[in-house]
Amino acid sequence: MRPIGADVTVVSAIGHNINVSAQVILNPSTNAGIVNEAFESAMQTYLESIAFVDYLVVYNRIGYILLNIPGVINYTSLTVNGGTVDIVIGDDEVPVIGNIEVTG
């Protein structure tokens, strides 16, 4: 239902790609491929949890997620969309996984 004379417009959200590149120090019991898959899955969960709720992808949260992947000891480099700052998501946008690259 809508008030008389009101026009309702419904549009889809625009995807805002989140690209992550990281150089990590790995435990010898794992490899970069396994870590990359686990990290991508964890990032998907994080981005889904903030969609339409929070309009900021926190750089340090991504580092925290990466460090909690089994086999990752530390990271020596981490960039999100080419930088090291939080990513602001517009009101009509939703964060989506872009390119995820973890090398060991």
Domain boundaries, the chain: 26-103
Q: What is the pTM (predicted TM-score) of this model? A: 0.86
28-66 pLDDT per residue, tens: 999 999 999 999 999 999 999 999 999 999 999 999 999
Distance CA 86, CA 37 (A): 23
Whole-number Cα distances in Å, 100 to 36, 93, 95? 7, 20, 14
